[in-house]
Amino acid sequence: MKFKEKITRENLERHIDNVTKSKKLFVFLGFSPEQLIEVSDYKLLQDKFPQKIEEFNHNPEVISHIFPKMTDERLFYWCTAEEYQFYIENQFVNYFDIQFLYNNLYHSLFPIFYSFDNFDQVLRDYEDDDQEIKSSNFENINKFYGNIVYVDSQLYGTYSFDEEILSNLNPYFTNVSLLNLKSSEVQAYDLTFEIQENQNSFLILMNKLINSTHKQLVNIVHSNDSEILINEYLQRLSTLVHLNSNIKIFFTKKSLDLTNIDESKYLKILDEYWGFSSFRSLKMYKDPDNSKELIDVKQSQIIHDIVEEIENAQQEKPFRDIFITSSTGAGKSVMFQLPSFLMHKNHQLLTIVISPLIGLMNDQVKNLQARGINNVATINSNITPMEKEEIQRRIHKKEIAILYISPETLLNRADIKLLIGEETKVGLFIVDEAHIVTTWGKAFRADYWYLGPYLQKLRKEMKFPIATFTATAIYGGEEDMYKETRDSLGLLNPKFYLGQIKRNDIEMKIDSHPKELSTNEYRIAKFDFASLRLKSFIKNEKKVLVYFPTIPLINQLQTYIEEQHPRLSKQIVTYYGSLQKAHKEENHYRFSRGDSKIMFATKAYGMGIDLPDIDIVYHYAPTGNVCDYVQEIGRAARDEQLNGQAYFDFLKNDFSHIKRLHGMSTIRKTQLQQVSEKIYKIYKEKKKSRNLLVSVEDFSHIFTSNNGNEDTDVEGKLKTSLLLIEKDFINRIGFAPFVARPRGLFSREYFKVTAKGEKLLHQVQNKEYVKYIKTIDHDHYNKIYEIDLKKIWEKKYRNLSFPNFKRKFHDRDHTINLNFLDEIDSTFIVNFQSKNSLEHSLTFFSQRLQTVSSFFSNYALTRSFFKNEDLAIYLEKELKLDKYNASNLSQIILQSMIRYTSLRLNTNSRSVIHVNENKSYRITPSYEDFFKFVLQQANIYFDSKWTDKQPDSSYNVYLSKSVRDAINRSTLTFGLLEGFGLINYQIQGGNTPEIYIRINSTLQLESLIKNPSKYQNKILNDVHYRHKLSNEMLKYIFENKMTTEVFWDVIEDYFLGKIPEQVISAARTK
């Protein structure tokens, strides 16, 4: 990278705009030795440029050369940024009038011309910022550079300067005229480049163009005008043209460009898997930046794009990601499921789908399995370890085409190969309900925000496109969710489809009542409005979905209606997150079937709920922001033959609920400061180790509500706070002082210990790491101890990562020099709560097993087939269960019998059950072995020799991880006990969840702590401002009486980034 433009004495003198007693010292950032050759006589220091960083030396002789130059006749001297950091910053800063000049072809990331030892390892240490630092000279290099990257054979870095210095950098190239964004288009371009937040590809473009000797027509594609301003892209492109007249820059905004495709191969799969003969056409905006023109886009076009990008990635060609917004009910799932099945069929590639809700994942999998598609699966917290193991086995064998998983489950696996195996390749990554990356990510689900860094790291190892799907995303303007989602996930030049926003089939019925009422008046008014509306809806035989912001409001209105309108109350069912699963399923079933005409729900009754025949959506009060409101009213009239209505009786007091919701979900600036200070204290306590494991409990005091109660989601708030701090620093100075990553790590684990081992544990060198738990009756081991692995790691094995240390510890690796390793046995815990005494539960379990066993006797004799429904009907009658619980229990029993067979837990090696393709079951005479087995296991686990009663009246059972099938036996047995409603259980591998933090630089943390009043977090400020903006927008649409047509015009403008001026003004005033 050699730029022709040389720095001259004359140009530098022009930068001297004031005369001071001190000598002018120019500090250069981003200039090569070749560019400085003409001013080499003006170099302040005698150090070579370039040289090795390690050659910097506080030699008195080097320093002595500076003093005479302070008083000579020259107007200025210069030094490099690195020389300033090493020699000037702490010794001579008061002796010079210092001016920082940067090469304005760059922003935050500047080319580095110095070299250093261990180059490859240092580079890896910077790149793998969630791993421990391995290079011995990293500490020294980090004093100069907060971050470094290697792009197109050139090293770039962000300098470890104080923010005050970074805010006072001056561009070297002046009088640069900004390019006109309204440039006319030409027929053909030599290069086309799409702007994105990550600078790496832009740096490659600049390298290619800076010294071009022939004319180049360059097309810069961007989403909107504000996007071209990030990373100073417009200024840098203008500088490029200023320096090289061969370059002509043109700007074009994204628009939808469709191609003719052959959809025959996609139609074949559509018919084979779904039984459809044609694809839907969807209304999409052609050029949303400039018009509201709509064009028809078939599902097959989007499917083709996804397939094409998968194939490009697999062939090591450049590929693009895909961003799709389309209204609920537009068939989004088919658009990623079909290419996933095709790619699995042709190349055995796995598609991973990130989904926010377990119910949503289960529904997707069940719906596909109901169509006979069985190469799909979900891993979530509701499945047993045995089920998880079986799914992973199938993934490793490349039998699974689509895996649904939550972000939390994915992020808990630092190495994805632990999940998918060594041979399976990821072909496609789907982020479903992608608006959560920006909305829930900051407010509720911090792990959605961590997806971006995880995926960016993963794509260094394997190539695959990311496709995002959502029904709700604002494009452009002050709340640009498209840009934020794209940048958060690190999407590569995404193909963008924006679906029609208007729902002309939904009539708006908003009545505004301007008077502000007292609390009691308000409550009575809301009850009366809602009751009258609901009675009218029922009279007209309408199916009604009523949304509430909180659960207490549901309960209050339901109680009121039960007392005042008992007949109406019989039509009402409820749905919210904390409602028992069986009740949720029953209520959803009743509402979907029309047995109950009214559903009272929080926003939990949203994603994944696809009912075509809801006539009316009524809001008791707003549940969130404008996006929430539009998505929720969009639940009406899914059936194309229906016209729906959205009702709301608006009172000014309604916004008290929004404020309360916002208060529960936001974070304060003072909390970010306290988190930063706490991390810095831990860093110092740990003898300035850069690798930290922090306990969530250490931060609980920071996250308290205004009434002094501890927050219920400290872990979520902490994760969000850490990423708010990290991302804000990256945006401001180009790197973060620390990097935090959630991990599924547990620092303390349980072990069975021999008598000899106990003596060893109590030796001086070991006793600080251990804690006695329980005496057990066992042939070889007689005690349970808790061992603090984190403490051992911190004291003795910091050279290893914590996960690597744990693996070696459990493998009894010879490099882990601990004398007790051969005398302990790793143990997992089953923690369970029994609703009755253990004796009573055991007796009840035995009786229930006998009842169930009786069902199978006749089928075992006749060898005839039966269905799950047959067993469910029997259980409903014999155990006096409702049909929903009976069906659930039936499935648990049959799945347990299948697992019992597949795991070969039967010592007679005989199968107890067979299942055919039609999901019909046939029992064998060995079925009795299954019931004997689980009863025997329950007796063992409930024996007082095995159980350890806890202070909360739950029980712990300690089971050896080394015993074959121990976890399978326990989960099968406890799963059945839970299925019968006798216990609730959890498997624990350890306790005290922790977060891994790597300290990159302490300078910024120290500055933040010393000057708390100066600290501002722009991302947090934006969150608060957007909340105000959304509130004002809601007021605007609720208070202004609008026709349906006007309402949808305003909403369309809003989602296209055009917000009414009075809304913006009101939000900024507040």
216-222/191-194 β-pairing: parallel
How big is the chain, counted in residues?
1070
End-of-domain residue from the set 772, 803, 831: 831
End-of-domain residue from the set 203, 221, 253: 253
Res 900: pLDDT: 84
pLDDT tens string 509-523: 999 887 778 888 999
Q: Look at the alpha carbons of 671, 676, 679, 684 in this order and tell me if their dihedral is positive or negative.
A: negative
> Which of the 8 DSSP states describes residue 232?
G
**Assigned domain for 986 exists:** no
**Assigned domain for 988 exists:** no
Same domain assignment for residues 126 and 209? no
Same domain assignment for residues 399 and 483? yes
Same domain assignment for residues 488 and 610? no
Same domain assignment for residues 22 and 112? yes
The domain that holds 629 is classified in CATH as 3.40.50.300
Res 710: pLDDT: 38
Res 916: pLDDT: 76
Nearest to 630 by CA among 1048, 984, 909: 1048
Res 16: pLDDT: 86
**Assigned domain for 13 exists:** yes
Res 708: pLDDT: 35
Same domain assignment for residues 223 and 271? no
| CB-based contacts of 797-801 (< 8 A; 24+ apart in sequence) | 798/132, 798/689, 798/691, 799/132, 800/132, 801/131, 801/132, 801/691
Q: Look at the alpha carbons of 315, 320, 326, 328 in this order and tell me if their dihedral is positive or negative.
A: positive
Res 1048: pLDDT: 96
Same domain assignment for residues 698 and 748? no
For the record, the structure tokens of 445 come out as: 């689900």
Same domain assignment for residues 876 and 841? yes
CB atoms near residue 217 (< 10 Å)? 15
**Assigned domain for 186 exists:** no
Res 472: pLDDT: 80
Q: Angle at Cα 47 formed by Cα 46 and Cα 51, nearest 5°?
A: 155
Distance set, CA 489 to CA 253, 302, 441, 728 (Å): 21, 20, 12, 16
Res 745: pLDDT: 52
Same domain assignment for residues 370 and 488? yes
**Assigned domain for 704 exists:** yes
Res 628: pLDDT: 87
**Assigned domain for 183 exists:** no
Same domain assignment for residues 83 and 102? yes
Res 704: pLDDT: 54
Low-confidence spans in the chain with pLDDT less than 50: 1, 663-664, 705-711, 990-992
**Cβ–Cβ < 8 Å for 210, 241:** no
Same domain assignment for residues 352 and 483? yes
Nearest to 863 by CA among 922, 926, 921: 922
Q: Look at the alpha carbons of 637, 1026, 167, 123 in this order and tell me if their dihedral is positive or negative.
A: negative
End-of-domain residue from the set 498, 524, 557: 498
Res 293: pLDDT: 92
Q: Which domain covers residue 359, as residue numbers?
A: 264-498
**Assigned domain for 320 exists:** yes
**Assigned domain for 533 exists:** yes
Res 665: pLDDT: 54
Q: Is 877 exposed, middle or buried (0-12, 13-18, 19+ CB in 10 A)?
A: exposed
Indicate the number of domains in the chain: 7
Same domain assignment for residues 658 and 670? no
Res 1070: pLDDT: 66
Same domain assignment for residues 491 and 346? yes
